[in-house]
Amino acid sequence: MKKDLHPSNYRFVVFKDMSNEYAFLTKSCVETKETTTWEDGNEYPLYKLEISHTSHPFYTGKMKLVDTAGRIDKFKTRYAKK
């Protein structure tokens, strides 16, 4: 096996779905700047997700997708000048 192939900075990270406030704790090496306190009282890095299995239409059965990126607001500001 090749040396230094896999990252060595795995740690516990909280992933939070911003559309429905669902959060889960797992190991990852994703870079984050924010932290949050988890249910066990410890502080972990926080990574914000736009969509997860609790809000994705395939898993929920709902075909309406929540607009978290603000596409509607961008459209309104772009065409408000005209």
The model's pLDDT over 5-35, given as tens digits with 9 standing for 90+, comes to 888 888 999 999 887 888 999 999 999 999 9
Nearest-angstrom CA–CA distance, 45 and 33:
7
Give the pLDDT score at 28: 93
Give the pLDDT score at 19: 79
Neighbours of 35 (CB within 10 A): 12
Q: What is the pTM of this model?
A: 0.64
pLDDT, tens only, 27-78:
999 999 999 999 999 999 999 987 776 776 655 666 555 555 666 777 777 7
In 3D, which of 10, 11, 9, 16 has the Cα closest to residue 36? 16
Domain definitions of the chain by residue range:
11-79
Give the pLDDT score at 64: 56
Burial of 32 (0-12, 13-18, 19+ CB in 10 A): middle
Give the pLDDT score at 38: 92
